[in-house]
Chains A and B, each alone.
Chain A
Amino acid sequence: MLSIAPSYLLYYVPLIIAISLVFGGTRHEDTSMVLRHAWQTGRWITGFMAIIFTVLCALDWLV
């Protein structure tokens, strides 16, 4: 189903951590709010990517 090894998906982890923390950090000054915003951003992006991934897998299965 995947054209790459599943271990390649691990590349996503450090990137999402960096992106989420910088996004949170550029929207708040309070550290707890930065972390909360980062968590929400990470969750949102991961969810969005998961939906796209599922749709592509479904299309791959159908075609």
Chain B
Amino acid sequence: MSVDEPNLIEVDGQAVNLRNRPLAALLAWLVPGAGHIYQGRTTKGCLFFVCILSAWILGFALGGGHVVYASWQPGDKRWHYLLQAGVGVVALPAMVQGNRMRNATDPMTGRTSAAYDPWWGGFMAPPFRPVLESEADEVSAWYARRGAGYEMGTWYTVIAGLLNILVIYDAYGGPLAVPISGRKKQETDADEGQLDSPKS
């Protein structure tokens, strides 16, 4: 392994081989931490896997299993899913369910066919159409059942997806730079350490 190798970086005094960066980034998106494990950064990979998937699963449970679904219909533009999908393969069933729902909904009336039966017991399936803010529908029922848990579950899963974007970047390019304020503090700590050392 040559020092000039473009995928070899040094961070915190440790040499890190980022290997195939695009592949690592793809793996990091698919399963949080998988890109790091592929690069041999096992501790960080396990840390990301546990932290991100715990937050995501906890949010999913808090929201009664209905906080992650893909929908871009009038009255129900679920933009949260764009961020939730950052967590990778665990959010992909929502795409399948969303596509099935779209095919089962009449574009003229905006009403879901009575014959529609979502797969997997409705796991990550969008609500039945139409969804109207002013009327009782399936989304209002989910809110009513879970209370604040529905909102919290949505935010937990959104934040998990956003955190995985940082992890994908870390797998692709290595650790982000420490902010200037943090660097100054570290330098101050190091200076104090040097001043203290002759005394001890």
A22 and B166 in contact, given A15-B159, A29-B11 (Cβ under 8 angstroms)? yes
Residues in B with CB closer than 8 Å to A4 are 148
- Give B18 Cβ to nearest chain A Cβ, in Å: 11
Q: Is B101's CB within 8 Å of the partner chain A?
A: no
Q: Is B54's CB within 8 Å of the partner chain A?
A: yes
The answer to whether B52 touches A22, judged by C-beta atoms less than 8 angstroms apart, is: yes
When the two chains form the complex, which single residue of B148, B160, B163, B175 contacts A29, counting CB atoms closer than 8 Å? B175
Q: Which of B127-186 contact A (CB under 8 A)?
A: 148, 152, 156, 159-160, 163, 166-167, 169-170, 175-178, 182
Total A-B pairs, Cβ < 8 A? 67
Residues in A with CB closer than 8 Å to B54 are 14, 18
Q: Is the interface of B mostly helix, strand, loop or mixed?
A: helix
Closest residue of chain A to B33, judged by CB?
A: A25
- Give A23 Cβ to nearest chain B Cβ, in Å: 7
- Give B59 Cβ to nearest chain A Cβ, in Å: 9
Q: Which of B98-136 contact A (CB under 8 A)?
A: none
A19 and B176 in contact, given A4-B148, A29-B11, A34-B47 (Cβ under 8 angstroms)? no
The answer to whether A26 touches B166, judged by C-beta atoms less than 8 angstroms apart, is: yes
- Give B181 Cβ to nearest chain A Cβ, in Å: 10
Residues in B with CB closer than 8 Å to A29 are 11-12, 14, 16, 41, 44, 175
Chain B positions near chain A (C-beta within 8 angstroms): 11-14, 16, 41, 43-44, 47-48, 51-52, 54-55, 58, 62, 148, 152, 156, 159-160, 163, 166-167, 169-170, 175-178, 182
A-B contact pairs, 9 of them (CB 8 A): A4-B148, A18-B160, A19-B159, A23-B166, A26-B167, A26-B170, A26-B176, A29-B14, A34-B44
Chain A positions near chain B (C-beta within 8 angstroms): 4, 8, 11, 14-15, 17-19, 21-23, 25-31, 33-34, 37, 40
